[in-house]
Structure 1
């Protein structure tokens, strides 16, 4: 019986780590923000790790776009945020200007 509990706990913890961005968004754990980054709707260490990884990659991409277009990072982030929110499917979370989360 103990081995079964250990196996179950291990399997559950691996399934959380196996989440990708789309799965986390579909489960309501992560949402799109106005600044072009994602945020944790339900913060856990696993969700925060996904958010940090995605945002690191997005920021690098936004910085490259800003540099290539001779514009500010803030402009690129603002436009990306608008596009990401527009493209967010119904039922997933978006962050409002006041910081609260709402299902689209």
Structure 2
């Protein structure tokens, strides 16, 4: 029994590091913005600024954008005369306005600039 446990220790260590360290390596939106990896787009969504995004970064951006779209759609559905596009544009204006200086925002489609 002890031999089995000793030989299983490296496997347990690997699994533990994947479970515990894996999520710790994931980046959050604020950190990604501060590092210049992503920015706020003119359409109300997050865009990837870096030319070589990690899979974690791409997944995070996709997840955030799906949640934003759901929120924007819910607002449009609850607001008489509002369209999804109008809600997206309004959200973009607010998000870009509150973006701190030095972080990326989209100036025109696909053109990123650091906010002054």
TM-score by length of 1: 0.82
Aligned ranges 1:49-60 → 2 under 5 Å: 49-60=59-70
Counterpart CA distance in 2 for 1:32 and 1:88 is 8
Between structure 1 and structure 2, the one with the greater Rg is 2
- Aligned residue number for residue 42 of structure 2: 34
- Aligned residue number for residue 80 of structure 1: 91
Q: How far does residue 50 in structure 1 lie from its aligned partner after superposition? A: 0.9
Q: How far does residue 98 in structure 1 lie from its aligned partner after superposition? A: 3.8
Unmatched 5+ stretches in structure 2: 1-13
Counterpart CA distance in 2 for 1:13 and 1:96 is 35
TM-score by length of 2: 0.74
Report if aligned partners of 2:76, 2:84 keep a CA contact under 8 Å in 1. Answer: yes
Aligned ranges 1:1-104 → 2 under 5 Å: 15-17=24-26, 19-42=27-50, 43-70=53-80, 71-104=82-115
Instruction: Please identify runs of 4+ aligned residues in structure 1 that moved more than 6 A.
Output: 10-13
Unmatched 5+ stretches in structure 1: 1-5
